[in-house]
């Protein structure tokens, strides 16, 4: 009896310690805000195709923020996943400036990670490095402002919702949602190393979920390695692509099916990780016309000017986006429904350092023993891009296709091409075997072309370690990093290592030393030379040890600020006008009177320029259902952020300032029968100045 009593007392004493720490030690808050960029006349970032200029919205862009606080130490970490191609230091600096104005020194460069999902269908022009803004025709202040304000708002919301929470880890294998787009490069890695893995891409979706003391869900972050390039480079509607739609689906499921995208309390992110060589186009590369499987190595097809690109699994890019998103969403829901591993215990903290890559020295890494050879030293190079970079990938062929002269149609390119710098013999030797196409590290006109200083950080939330990296790690690069950090951190109780891709600064790709020798696209875009990955492995091990031991690290050199030198050729909106006899918001082409499930309803309205107001947190259109004829009361069933709707803007005459908005709704299965209408919202710029809102309805129609 006595023994049992002691046992019981011991048990309850243990629970007092464990339960108390679980109940009070960690606080988590999640927030979401609209970050949609200017939806017209701004080129998309990702495919570097300056003809891919947006003219509407399919899915809105959101910023999803998670704030973690260790109540004991007061330490905080912020992780934000943004529906954007990547993040840049300028955006982070401005977000921090606004946070500091509001909260003092709570949020700094030392504890905030901004990670881009890497969607290729969102407006660019927000980075301060010239190469990345070149295809966009320069810097675009509207994109920059949209991202800064939205990210800031999402963090403010997460901050205000901080509450006691637990963290659970879970994972699942999703085998049919990605393929390797450079499989021959992957094969360059040592066979003994490859033998540790079943696939040539990572198939594991890793999930951290945050639960209140009463087990209700606060938020979920999922990491799955895949390029958000289901929407290809012919798409001109803003889209958060496969991962963005997966997030919308999961939020809808958890917040209730009537919640509009971006408006729910529970926030679910699908964030980027080691997606460098990973494509969602699971049917693989085929020739454009003959549909023959094309040569992986050369990407060439038999026909003259016949391109080789990958697609699938759907019948078109929308269908493919929906299918990949659904696989990710369903996988993540399965993990959520399974019991997870509680990883709450352990501190919250982060170390951050700016690192000047060309100046770094590192030890050679042995991928068979996962150790460094301390008698073999290597170093970084000035940034440079190799020739294969110009050929593009099977996800987006012909990037910067210099040979076919597509870049020469770009007025910004014409203005700068005579200022290109020659690589020096040291550059050539340092980057070998990469044949240098652009010695970006030596190009100073009009300002820095690619970063030399990158942002490196390692964060810890209980038993999870987050390595936030400034670029796109390939599959094997990511695996090496995770193996190394897992062995460094496991004794300290941080057992799950997650790579957070495209964080804070964008420095292109990171291929392994062996992949670098093959010089395919990812290797040609590994800008700091053959030992780029080894430098990161040395650095992240050092940072992880500092984090675990609580030793401070040097802040490193701040990246240069070019904000007063930026060039833009994107013209401002001049004015808007309605055609003779019409007002803004007039419906020019009405829908039919009757539709059924699966039909697409279309209406066209007299429109202003969408760049007059991005309508953050609002919408350019709604689908409305009549709920009471007597009171003329309508309820919103969809906005421009929903999958089933499209908002397409068309300029009719630049001189007259006339334009049209086409609003579409594909009626989903299960839509209740009734009376519906389409509603368009916009803002016009008056010729004598001032911006004014307008709106207009279509005639009503029946869904039967
Ligand atoms: C939303 O709809 C789906 C399928 O129609 C259903 O399985 C799910 O339970 C619904 N979710 C909520 C919160 O109502
Ligand atoms: C993009 O997808 C569309 C189908 O949605 C297809 O017709 C087109 O050929 C694709 N183009 C490229 C370059 O992938
Ligand atoms: C370490 O590097 C040195 C110098 O390159 C080399 O001679 C030695 O064989 C390497 N050691 C191992 C264990 O690979």
Query: 3-state DSSP call for residue 94?
Result: helix
Give the distance, in angstroms, between the CA of residue 203 and the centroid of all CA atoms in the same chain: 19
Does pLDDT of 8 surpass 70?
no
With the most atoms of ligand 3 within 8 angstroms of its CB, the residue from 368, 370, 376, 379 to mutate is 376
| Residues whose CB falls within 8 Å of the CB of residue 342, separated by 6 or more in sequence, listed in order | 22, 166, 167, 168
Instruction: List the helix and strand counts (H, then E) for the chain.
Output: 15, 39
**pLDDT of 296:** 65
Q: Ligand 1, atom 6: nearest CA belongs to which residue?
A: 253
Query: 3-state DSSP call for residue 420?
Result: coil
What's the token pair of residue 336? 């959520």
For 329-366, letters b (16+ CB in 10 Å) and e give: bebbbebbeeebeebbebbbbbbbbbbebbebebbbbe
* C-alpha distance from residue 628 to each of 592, 622, 639 (Å): 22, 18, 20
Pairing of strands 396-397, 392-393: antiparallel
Ligand 2: does its nearest atom lie under 6 Å from the Cβ of 232?
Answer: yes
Q: Where are the beta strands (DSSP E) in 22-73?
A: 26-34, 40-45, 53-57, 62-70
Does pLDDT of 438 surpass 70?
yes
Each domain of the chain, given as residue ranges in start order, spans 2-357+451-549, 587-703
Catalytic residue numbers, as ranges = 279
141-160 and 89-103 helices, crossing angle to 10°: 40
pLDDT interval class at 420 (50, 70, 90): confident
Pairing of strands 701-703, 594-595: parallel
Residue 154's H or E segment, with its range, is: helix 141-160
For 79-103, letters b (16+ CB in 10 Å) and e give: bbbbbbbbbbbbbbbbbbebbeeee
Residue (of 117, 79, 65) closest to 225 by Cα position: 117
Using one digit for the tens of pLDDT, what is the confidence trace for 589-638?
999 999 999 999 999 999 999 999 999 999 999 999 999 999 999 999 99
246 CA to middle of ligand 2, Å?
21
**pLDDT of 49:** 80
Does pLDDT of 197 surpass 50?
yes
Ligand 2: does its nearest atom lie under 6 Å from the Cβ of 47?
Answer: no
Question: 251-257: long-range contacts (C-beta < 8 A, 24 or more apart)?
Answer: 251/32, 253/329, 253/333, 254/217, 254/220
pLDDT interval class at 14 (50, 70, 90): very low
Place of tokens 């509407």: 56
Distance CA 375, CA 129 (A): 36
Using one digit for the tens of pLDDT, what is the confidence trace for 46-68?
887 888 999 999 999 999 999 99
**pLDDT of 188:** 97
**pLDDT of 297:** 67
* Residue 693 near residue 682, CB atoms below 8 Å: yes
365 CA to middle of ligand 3, Å?
10
* Residue 418 near residue 407, CB atoms below 8 Å: no
Pairing of strands 163-164, 26-34: antiparallel
What DSSP string runs through 303-347? STT--EEEE-SSSSHHHHHHHHHHHHHHHHHHHHHS--EE---S-
Ligand 2: does its nearest atom lie under 6 Å from the Cβ of 399?
Answer: no
Using one digit for the tens of pLDDT, what is the confidence trace for 364-410?
999 999 999 999 999 999 999 888 777 777 777 544 444 433 445 67
Which alpha helices (H) appear in 381-512, and where do they start and end? 388-391, 411-416, 425-431, 475-489
* C-alpha distance from residue 591 to each of 307, 429, 676, 677 (Å): 38, 64, 10, 9
User: The dihedral of CA 85, 86, 91, 96: what is its sign?
Assistant: positive
% of residues, the chain, pLDDT over 70: 94
Distance CA 164, CA 637 (A): 34
Distance CA 248, CA 59 (A): 9
C-alpha R_g of the chain: 26
* C-alpha distance from residue 82 to each of 92, 478, 502 (Å): 12, 21, 10
Burial class, 558, CB count within 10 angstroms (exposed 0-12 / middle 13-18 / buried 19+): exposed
pLDDT interval class at 9 (50, 70, 90): very low
Does pLDDT of 639 surpass 50?
yes
Higher pLDDT, 388 or 245: 245
Distance CA 641, CA 585 (A): 20
**pLDDT of 409:** 61
Does pLDDT of 4 surpass 60?
no
Mean pLDDT along residues 84-95: 97
Higher pLDDT, 347 or 137: 347
pLDDT mean across residues, the chain: 92
**pLDDT of 397:** 57
**pLDDT of 586:** 98
Ligand 2: does its nearest atom lie under 6 Å from the Cβ of 233?
Answer: yes
With the most atoms of ligand 3 within 8 angstroms of its CB, the residue from 190, 367, 373, 377 to mutate is 373
Does pLDDT of 416 surpass 80?
no
What DSSP string runs through 242-269? HHHHHHHHHHHHHH-TTPPTT--SSEEE
Residue 22's H or E segment, with its range, is: helix 2-24
Higher pLDDT, 587 or 300: 587
pLDDT interval class at 569 (50, 70, 90): confident
Higher pLDDT, 11 or 330: 330
Ligand nearest to the CA of residue 367, numbered in listed order: 3
| Residues whose CB falls within 8 Å of the CB of residue 560, separated by 6 or more in sequence, listed in order | 448, 453
Does pLDDT of 10 surpass 60?
no
- Per mean pLDDT, which range of 102-111, 124-133, 326-335, 478-487 is the poorest? 124-133
Distance CA 642, CA 620 (A): 12
Question: Which CATH fold would you assign to the domain 587-703?
Answer: Immunoglobulin-like (2.60.40)
Q: Ligand 2, atom 1: nearest CA belongs to which residue?
A: 232
Q: Ligand 2, atom 7: nearest CA belongs to which residue?
A: 316
Separation of first and last alpha carbons in the chain: 72
Distance CA 312, CA 324 (A): 9
**pLDDT of 1:** 33
What DSSP string runs through 642-674? STTEEEEEEEEETTTTEEEEEEEEE--TTPPPE
Ligand 2: does its nearest atom lie under 6 Å from the Cβ of 319?
Answer: no
Place of tokens 């352990």: 346
């Amino acid at each position: 009896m006595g023994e049992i009593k002691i046992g019981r007392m011991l048990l309850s004493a243990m629970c007092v310690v464990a339960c108390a720490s679980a109940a009070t030690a960690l606080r988590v808050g999640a927030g979401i805000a609209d970050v949609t960029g200017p939806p017209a006349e701004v080129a998309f970032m990702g495919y570097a195709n300056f003809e891919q200029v947006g003219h509407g919205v399919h899915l809105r862009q959101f910023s999803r923020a998670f704030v973690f606080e260790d109540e004991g130490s007061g330490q905080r970490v912020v992780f934000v996943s943004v529906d954007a191609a990547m993040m840049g230091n300028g955006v982070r600096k401005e977000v921090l400036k606004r946070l500091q104005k509001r909260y003092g020194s709570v949020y700094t460069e030392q504890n905030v990670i901004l990670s881009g999902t890497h969607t290729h269908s969102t407006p660019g022009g927000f980075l301060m490095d010239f190469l990345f803004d070149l295809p966009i025709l320069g810097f675009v202040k509207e994109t920059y402002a949209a991202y800064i304000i939205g990210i800031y708002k999402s963090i403010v919301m997460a901050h205000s919702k901080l509450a006691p929470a637990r963290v659970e880890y879970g994972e699942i294998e999703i085998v049919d949602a990605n393929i390797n787009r450079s499989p021959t490069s992957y094969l360059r890695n040592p066979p003994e190393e490859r033998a540790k893995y079943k696939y040539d891409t990572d198939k594991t979706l890793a999930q951290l979920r945050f639960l209140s003391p009463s087990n209700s869900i606060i938020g979920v972050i999922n990491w799955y390695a895949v390029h958000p390039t289901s929407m290809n480079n012919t798409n001109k509607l803003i889209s958060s692509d496969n991962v963005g739609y997966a997030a919308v689906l999961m939020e809808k499921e958890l917040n209730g099916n009537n919640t509009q995208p971006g408006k729910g309390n529970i926030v679910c992110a699908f964030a980027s990780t080691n997606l460098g060589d990973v494509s969602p186009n699971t049917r693989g590369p085929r020739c454009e016309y003959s549909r023959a499987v094309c040569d992986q190595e050369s990407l060439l097809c038999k026909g003259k000017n016949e391109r080789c690109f990958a697609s699938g699994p759907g019948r078109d890019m929308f269908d493919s986006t929906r299918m990949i998103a659904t696989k990710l969403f369903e996988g993540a829901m399965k993990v959520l429904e399974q019991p997870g591993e509680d990883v709450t215990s352990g501190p919250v903290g982060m170390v951050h350092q700016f690192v000047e890559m060309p100046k770094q020295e590192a030890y050679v890494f042995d991928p068979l023993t996962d150790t460094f050879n301390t008698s073999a030293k290597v170093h970084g190079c000035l940034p440079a891009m190799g020739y294969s970079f110009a050929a593009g990938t099977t996800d987006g062929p012909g990037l910067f296709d210099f040979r076919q002269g597509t870049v020469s149609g770009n007025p910004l390119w014409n203005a700068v091409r005579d200022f290109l710098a020659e690589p020096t013999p040291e550059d050539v030797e340092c980057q070998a075997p990469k044949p240098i196409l652009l010695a970006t590290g030596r190009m100073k006109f009009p300002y820095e072309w690619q970063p030399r200083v990158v942002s490196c950080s390692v964060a810890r939330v209980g038993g999870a370690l987050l390595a936030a990296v400034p670029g796109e790690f390939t599959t094997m690069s990511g695996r090496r990093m995770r193996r190394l950090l897992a062995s460094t951190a496991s004794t300290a109780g941080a057992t799950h290592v997650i790579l957070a891709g495209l964080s804070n600064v964008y420095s292109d790709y990171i291929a392994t030393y062996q992949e670098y020798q093959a010089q395919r696209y990812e290797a040609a875009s590994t800008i700091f030379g053959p030992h780029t990955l080894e430098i990161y492995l040395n650095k992240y091990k050092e940072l992880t040890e500092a984090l675990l031991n609580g030793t401070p690290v040097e802040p490193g050199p701040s990246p240069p600020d070019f904000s007063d030198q930026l060039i833009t050729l994107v013209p401002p909106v001049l004015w808007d006008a309605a055609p003779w006899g019409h007002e803004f918001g007039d419906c020019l082409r009405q829908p039919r009177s009757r539709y059924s499930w699966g039909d697409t309803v279309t209406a066209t309205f007299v429109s202003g320029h969408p760049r007059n107001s991005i309508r953050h947190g609002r919408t350019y259109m709604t689908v409305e259902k009549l709920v009471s004829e007597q009171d003329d009361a309508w309820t919103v069933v969809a906005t421009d952020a929903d999958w089933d709707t499209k908002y397409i803007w068309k300029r009719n005459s630049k001189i007259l300032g006339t334009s049209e908005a086409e609003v579409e709704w594909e009626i989903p299965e299960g839509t209740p029968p009734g009376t519906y209408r389409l509603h368009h919202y916009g803002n016009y710029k008056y010729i004598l100045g001032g911006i004014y809102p307008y709106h207009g309805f279509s005639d009503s129609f029946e869904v039967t």
